[in-house]
Amino acid sequence: MTKMKIALAGNPNSGKTTMFNALTGANQYVGNWPGVTVEKVEGKVRGRDGVTVTDLPGIYSLSPYTPEEVVSRTYLLSGEPSAVLNIVDGSNIERNLYLTTQLMELGKPVVIALNMIDVVNKKGDKIDVERLSSLLGCKVVETSALKGKGIDKACEKACREAEKGESFAVRPCFSADVEEAVSAVSGLLPSEIKPVLRRWYAIKLLERDSAVLKSLSLHEQAALKIESIAADLEKKREDDTESIITNERYNYISKIVSECVVKKSGGHVSLTDKIDRVVTNRFLALPIFAVVMWLVYFVSVTTVGTVFTDWANDGLFGDGWHLFTIGAGSYEEAAGEYSDASAVLDAFVTYADSTGTDTSAVLEAPEAGEDETSSEEDVVLREEALVSFAAQFDDDLEVSYQVTDEETLDETCETATGSDLKTAVSILSSYGLLEPDPADYGIWVPGIPVVIENGLDVIGCADWLKALILDGIVAGVGAVLGFVPQMLILFFFLAWLESCGYMSRIAFILDRVFRRFGLSGKSFIPVLVGTGCGVPGIMASRTIENQNDRRMTIMTTTFIPCGAKVPFIAMIAGAIFGGAGWVAPSAYFLGIGAILVSGIMLKKTKLFAGDPAPFFMELPSYHLPTVGNVLHSMWERGWSFIKKAGTIILLATILVWFLSYFGWTDGSFGMLEEDQMDSSILALIGNAIAWIFAPLGFGNWQATVASITGLIAKENIVGTLGILYNSDTATVYQNMGAAFTGITGFAFLAFNLLCAPCFAAIGAIKREMNDTKWFWRAIAYQCGFAYVVALIVNQLGMVITGTFVLNPLNVISLVFAVAFLVLIVYMVVRPAKKRA
């Protein structure tokens, strides 16, 4: 078969990218808003040698208003495509055929894929495909990209039309006076313009398309004559030529639709309209949106997601797990009983030390998990020693001690009596003085660290290499990968909301909010894309034609929590707030608030002043997403994260391990012990700059270096803390709980969510800004805004909670926090500057 290229063109939400995936099998992301496909993407058609399909950006017209429209029409005019496969949403046919009328003027064979025909049939509407094909003068094929129907047939038709190699003749479709003007302008065009394109160029010149006018070398007399023709038409119609042409196209489309489409509804309100009356209601829309997103994050990060993440952290990347959870309950009960008994014994040992009571007998008892090879005689002797120790205390003697809940980290004061001690000794003896072995209660599967450690011991691995692998790579990367289940569940819900059509409503809803403050709803499209990853979110800003709005959007898009920030959010929620359900949703709404406040403030400066860009969006009908598409989208996002963990995060954890386990002790440089990390290179670096973060409440070197490594990839914050605290998840959480209070923990969260994003996103900012000065302005604003927000959270939080400590640093920091808060409020409420 001859090599050919098929251009795939259509409106956003028409199913174009879904069809591209079906034709090529490419892993192209499917979304429900304009701007997902910001550049043309190519793929070979499966089962058709030599046929390449090009997925053009989703556009509404070929006018040069957005970068997407420019990319599409430049490619279509280049002569490269052999034919155009135009995806038309049959459930919204009038709006979609507007682009079709323009595509047919480009001289290329056009085949229409009448998509979403299943939705049309479900509504009870009828479309006469043969009549539609006859009136338009091109082939029309019924398709359902979502269900995979008619796709191959549409592609086959496009290939056949391309093989013919015939130029596409456009039928006159405007009123007589407009056609007369088009014909007159066509006669004034340079001779080198191909006959099949003369109509398209004539129409564009009548519309005063500056890009087309610039591309043609018109003689001055011809240019003046064309302007005179346009002016005469405008005078006759009492409207501008662009509006006249637009109206003519819609009049033509209306005539076709009236002959080909029969709608059953006849004024009947559809299910989509009924739902929209609620979810887009002026008063209910925002509360519903807040509840939906709260539920998404609550289920993903706090409830269902936590179950799987706990298994990943404690089982897969921890000590291990019981296969199919068989025996897990019995083991936990035994382990809890043993732990409680050990706590009572420890409490009395501490009490005995404080009162001078003899503890020599109990000190001979083995610690939990040790002396597994001891003889039965030794165990009996040690049991007797514990019994002897317990006998020293009266049954009524009470001893108080603190118990920390491993999940919530809450500390409670417990009381044990001498009688409880004797019971505890009996319990410990029943377990042979050793911590219960999980393998005794079911099939025990050891975790990855255990398997690797055993393997390294077998081969006699060097201590330094063993430490690098276990304490560096496994601890760091494992700490990040342990949160993958929460991320996958979050991505599943987001993909479902996008596919069903709700996310399009969110953009529509927030446009009403944004526009009140001089912003455009188009700025929220990149934010929605950025919930998966900040890089495509930044790139999606290309849909905004207003340069000021585009720059402002680039500067603020990464405030929204992306997938890479989910592990960090989950760690903060678990370690500092005991897994509280409000933490994850609050992180999302903090990002939304930061975007709104930043947008309002920036829009009122001279650099960004001006009217917001117009925002038009197609609201697709609600439909149940297919499981395949949702899972595909979820996996693509998740796999991207996993690949990053295997490359960037792996290298980062190795570097962090080296810097944290090597340093100077006793005047010499070398490898340090775990309790010597305060002398490491990393500690030296962290302590040198920790003072910068002291006003924010986390001026310790561990939090400082974690924030810095987070600039490489936000997941690195989790990996870095996992290495620095060098222990299992529960211990890491306990150490973090000791290092942070609720206020300082949330300040730490706020700073790292809002500051400059990862290196990949920073690179995207540089490319999209295409200006070094603006790039550094963006990074400086992000870091500065994050610092100010964290400062306000910490200082005012301490004042509100009554934990403010009076010292020079706090007093100065509080003054600045109040001043910044007043400045932000002033910038938000003050009148906007008029752009000169």
Q: Are residues 804 and 661 in the same domain?
A: yes
Domain boundary, last residue among 240, 262, 284? 262
**588-618 as b/e: b if 16+ CB within 10 A:** bebbbebbbbbbbbbbbeeebbbebbebebb
Give the pTM. 0.67
Q: Is position 280 within any domain?
A: no
Provide the pairing of β-strand 41-44 with 51-55. Answer: antiparallel
pLDDT at 27: 43
Q: Is position 454 within any domain?
A: no
Q: Are 563 and 533 spatial neighbours (Cβ–Cβ below 8 Å)?
A: yes
Q: Is position 318 within any domain?
A: no
Identity of the residue numbered 168: F
Q: Is position 480 within any domain?
A: no
Q: Indicate the number of domains in the chain.
A: 4
Q: Is position 18 within any domain?
A: yes
pLDDT at 753: 93
Domain boundary, last residue among 446, 473, 493? 446
Residue 126 carries which DSSP code?
Answer: E
Q: Are residues 381 and 506 in the same domain?
A: no
Q: Are residues 247 and 336 in the same domain?
A: no
Nearest residue to 788 (alpha-carbon basis) of 717, 709, 695, 691: 695
Cα–chain-centroid distance for residue 698?
Answer: 26
Q: Is position 758 within any domain?
A: yes
How would you class 372 by CB atoms within 10 Å of its CB: exposed for 0-12, middle for 13-18, buried for 19 or more?
exposed
Q: Are residues 667 and 599 in the same domain?
A: yes
Vertex 351, ends 349 and 355: CA angle to 5°? Answer: 115
Q: Are residues 190 and 126 in the same domain?
A: no
Q: What is the mean pLDDT of each run of 10 residues along the chain (836 residues)?
A: 81 82 64 44 81 84 72 81 90 86 87 88 86 89 86 90 73 83 89 85 86 81 89 86 85 89 69 83 85 86 82 86 90 91 89 79 52 61 82 89 68 88 90 86 91 92 87 79 83 84 78 68 74 75 75 89 85 86 90 89 80 63 80 81 74 83 82 79 89 90 88 81 72 80 93 88 84 92 95 94 89 94 90 58
Q: Are residues 26 and 89 in the same domain?
A: yes
Residue 26: which CATH number?
Answer: 3.40.50.300
pLDDT at 409: 54
pLDDT at 168: 62
Q: Are residues 690 and 806 in the same domain?
A: yes
Q: Are residues 397 and 490 in the same domain?
A: no
Provide the pairing of β-strand 444-446 with 320-322. Answer: antiparallel
Q: Are residues 683 and 560 in the same domain?
A: yes
**Residue 116: left (phi > 0), alpha (psi -120 to 50), or beta?**
left
Domain boundary, last residue among 105, 134, 164? 164
Provide the pairing of β-strand 83-89 with 110-115. Answer: parallel
Q: d(Cα 712, Cα 763) in Å, to the nearest integer? A: 11
Sequence-ordered list of residues with C-beta below 8 angstroms from that of 490, at least 6 positions apart, any chain: 296, 297, 300, 301, 305, 563, 566
Residue with tokens 């001078």: 356
Q: How far is CA 265 from CA 92, 261, 575, in A?
A: 14, 12, 55
Q: d(Cα 792, Cα 822) in Å, to the nearest integer? A: 11
Q: Are residues 669 and 579 in the same domain?
A: yes
Range of the domain at 222: 176-262
How would you class 435 by CB atoms within 10 Å of its CB: exposed for 0-12, middle for 13-18, buried for 19 or more?
middle
How would you class 818 by CB atoms within 10 Å of its CB: exposed for 0-12, middle for 13-18, buried for 19 or more?
middle
Q: Is position 767 within any domain?
A: yes
Nearest residue to 591 (alpha-carbon basis) of 635, 626, 558: 558
pLDDT at 760: 76
Q: Are residues 136 and 227 in the same domain?
A: no
Residue 235: which CATH number?
Answer: 1.10.287.1770
Task: Quickly count: other Cβ atoms within 10 Å of residue 830's Cβ.
Answer: 11
pLDDT at 614: 58
Task: Quickly count: other Cβ atoms within 10 Å of residue 49's Cβ.
Answer: 9
pLDDT at 799: 94
Both tokens of 577, joined, read 């707030």
Q: How far is CA 113 from CA 132, 217, 699, 767, in A?
A: 12, 37, 60, 35
Q: Is position 412 within any domain?
A: yes
Task: Quickly count: other Cβ atoms within 10 Å of residue 491's Cβ.
Answer: 24
Q: How far is CA 306 from CA 297, 303, 575, 641, in A?
A: 11, 5, 13, 18
pLDDT at 832: 66
Q: Are residues 496 and 387 in the same domain?
A: no
Terminal C-alpha separation, the chain: 59
| β-sheet bridge partners, residue 144 | 149
Judged by DSSP in three states, 331 sits in helix
Q: d(Cα 151, Cα 155) in Å, to the nearest integer? A: 6
